[in-house]
Chain A
Amino acid sequence: MVSFSAVAKRYPGGQEALKSVSFAIEPGELAFVTGRSGAGKSTLLKLIPAIERPTAGSVIVNGQNVGALKRSALPYLRRNIGVVFQDQKLLYDRSVFDNVMLPLAFSGHPPREAARRARAALDKVGLLSREKSNPIQLSGGEQQRLAIARAVVNRPAVLIGDEPTANLDAESAALILEVFVGFNQVGVTVLIATHDQRLIERYGKRVLRLEGGTIA
């Protein structure tokens, strides 16, 4: 589903985030990406929806070489990849419900169908009763769940979480992980970046350990 071969990423200015990264994630797999701060976890995840482009090597998602995609093709790639951003990127000028509706607006769903899907996504993360609230009124864990609901509302094949449990207490973190695992169980390929060793051990899933710009 997602495969990297000899991927390198050097930022303008010379900083080398990834030296040579190769791995492959099968459809329906759940894997963790781990490593110290600055090891390149975020960079690796950003290469998948082509938010960043590799300077060498190739990133293949669902059979497409995303590093070589034209700008105009990116929206369609991104609709099939749900991303839970490190800073969540929630919009605080609208309700919880409208935050989840946003991705459906530009994929062109009829309003009724879109509303039904948005409620279903909110229901799956346990926020249906808060749909009229403003995201600012939600707790840290709830905001993270809202970000997940928005990421999955378009039913993507791949779900990516960049440090989704950072800054959360153990209980909330476990709850968030459960939500990711739940989507994985219905067939979504899931990739989570984290440095929380306890969580990783609990699930006994595959771990990609980034060290010195390569997979250790």
Chain B
Amino acid sequence: MSAWLRQHRQALGLAARRLGALNALVIGVALALPAGGYAVLENLRGVAGRFALDTQISLFLQPGAKRAEAEALGKALRADRRIAKVRFVPREEALKELSTVQGLPEVIAALGHNPLPDVFVVTAVATGRGEEVERLSSDLAKLPGVAHVQADAAWARRLAALASIGRLAIWLLSALLGTGLVAVTFNTIRLQILTQRAEIELAKLIGATDAFIRRPFYYLGLLQGVGGGLVALGIVWIGLGLLNREVRLLAESYGSGFRFGFLGAGDAVAVVLFAGLLGLLGAQLSVSRHLREIEPA
């Protein structure tokens, strides 16, 4: 057991000494693209998701609708099971609210009459599903006396849908660059095997097992992948930091404290593990392909 552990430690040490910083950098740059894209999209999805769950719908009635009509409509709305809360905002109240905004009282006075319609602010029962709010608002638009329906969540849902498409793109990119990672490792290990050809041939001649010969190459692939994963995380971290400088200014001008957050701990670990496993896979493919070619005679 201790001999086995020692051999693994030696193989790991050997691999660590052969590890090229440049290879890890190449892999890191390649992985930074999908990892960074994923981080940005996760942030956008978070924001869009918050708005998309907003279940408020505004119903604007026909201008000049009678109060009795409004009351009938209100009754119908309260009877709807999909609606949790109904608030009626009469046009007089809306006008009063508007008059508190600076500069507007003069404009309103110049109009001579109240141009605002009555409004129902309806809160749908929260189901967590955006489509239901969508369906409800289209149903409400058909009610008599309703001139216009506005669901604020619509644009947010569209953003969320865009983000989902973006996520799909990120997955495709990950698959592509993951394949690239395997290929880079495959080639690195191939070159390493070629430079050590004499040593490998000799080792086979004087009693090294295949496992012993393969081990340092497996570790090399694994370390290279893990190193690349860490480099990718570093690049994403620096990149988001630079982005946030500009984002902070923009967000503050909208009175928002929004910042791009770094990948979650789980995601970060997953990036490194994924890179390590792909490196190992590349090494495995390369070793099984190229070590067979070195057969002493």
- Give the B-binding residues of A (Cβ under 8 A): 46, 49, 51-52, 72, 75-79, 83, 85, 89, 91, 93, 102-103, 105-111, 150-151, 154
Q: Which of B202, B206, B296 is most buried by chain A, counting CB atoms within 10 A of its CB?
A: B206
Q: Is B198 an interface residue (CB 8 A)?
A: yes
Report yes or no: A91 in contact with B202, Cβ–Cβ below 8 A: yes
Q: Does B205 belong to the interface (CB within 8 Å)?
A: yes
Interface assignment of B152: CB less than 8 Å from any CB of chain A: no
Q: A51-B296, A51-B297 are in contact. Are A78 and B206 (CB under 8 A)?
A: yes
Q: Name the A residues within 8 Å of B207 (CB-CB).
A: 75-79, 103, 106-107, 154
B7 A150 Cβ-Cβ under 8 A: no
Chain A residues with CB below 8 A from B3, complex form: 108-110
Minimal Cβ-Cβ distance residue in A for B215: A106
Given contacts A91-B198, A108-B7, A103 and B206 within 8 Å (CB-CB): yes
Contact status A52-B205, CB under 8 Å: no
Contact A102 B203 (CB under 8 A): yes
Q: Which residues of A contact B205 (CB under 8 A)?
A: 49, 51, 78, 83, 85, 89
User: Which A residues lie within 8 Å of B201 (CB)?
Assistant: 89
Bound-complex Cα distance A215 to B218 (A) = 47
CB neighbors of A among B174-204 (8 A): 198-199, 201-203
Interface 1/0 per residue, B280-297 and A, CB below 8 Å: 000000000000000011
Contact of B208 with A by CB under 8 A: yes
A160 CA to B210 CA, complexed, in Å: 23
**B212 near A: Cβ within 8 Å?**
yes
| Given A78-B206, A91-B199, A106-B207, 9 further pairs, Cβ under 8 A | A76-B207, A77-B207, A78-B205, A85-B205, A89-B201, A89-B202, A106-B208, A106-B212, A154-B207
Contacts of B10 in A (CB 8 A): 105
Whether B6 is near chain A, meaning CB under 8 Å from some CB there, is: yes
Per DSSP, are chain B's interface residues mostly helix, strand or loop, or mixed? helix
Q: Check if B100 is an interface residue, CB within 8 A of chain A.
A: no
Find out whether the CB atom of A75 lies under 8 angstroms from the CB atom of B208.
yes
Q: Determine the distance from Cα of A150 to Cα of B207 in the docked complex, in whole angstroms.
A: 12
Cross-chain contact B6 with A79 (CB below 8 angstroms): no
The answer, yes or no, to whether B102 is at the interface (CB within 8 Å) is no
In the complex, chain A residues whose CB is within 8 Å of the CB of B7 = 105-106, 108
Which residue of chain B lies nearest to A107 when distances are taken between CB atoms in the complex?
Answer: B207
Complex interface bits, B196-231 against A, C-beta within 8 A gives 1, otherwise 0 = 001101110111111010000000000000000000
The chain B residue sitting closest to A99, CB to CB, is B202
**With A89-B198, A106-B212, A108-B6 given, is the CB distance from A79 to B297 under 8 Å?**
no
A93: B residues at CB distance < 8 A? 199
Query: Please, how many angstroms separate the alpha-carbon atoms of A78 and B11 in the complex?
Result: 21
User: Can you list 19 residue pairs at the A/B interface with Cβ under 8 Å?
Assistant: A46-B297, A51-B297, A72-B210, A78-B207, A79-B207, A83-B205, A102-B202, A102-B203, A102-B206, A103-B206, A105-B7, A105-B10, A105-B212, A106-B7, A108-B3, A108-B4, A108-B7, A110-B2, A110-B3
**Chain A neighbourhood of B210, CB < 8 A:** 72
**Measured between C-beta atoms, what is the minimum distance from B276 to chain A in Å?**
25
Could you give, for residues 1-43 of chain B, a 1 whenever the CB lies within 8 Å of some chain A CB and a 0 otherwise? 0111011001000000000000000000000000000000000
Residues in B whose Cβ lies below 8 Å from that of A75? 207-209, 212
Min C-beta distance of B286 to chain A, whole Å: 20
B contact residues around A150 at 8 Å (CB): 206
Instruction: Give the top 7 A-B pairs by smallest Cβ distance, nearest first.
Output: A108-B3, A79-B207, A78-B207, A106-B208, A106-B212, A75-B209, A75-B207
Contacts A51-B297, A106-B212, A108-B7 given; indicate if A79 touches B198 (C-beta within 8 A). no
Within 8 Å CB of A106, what residues of B?
A: 7, 203, 207-209, 212
Give B296's nearest chain A residue, CB to CB.
Answer: A51
Considering only CB atoms, which chain B residue lies closest to A94 in the complex?
B199
B212 partner residues in chain A, CB cutoff 8 A: 75, 105-106
The distance in angstroms between the C-alpha atoms of A110 and B3, with both chains bound, is: 7
- Smallest Cβ distance from A22 to chain B, in angstroms? 24
Residue of A nearest to B202 (CB): A89
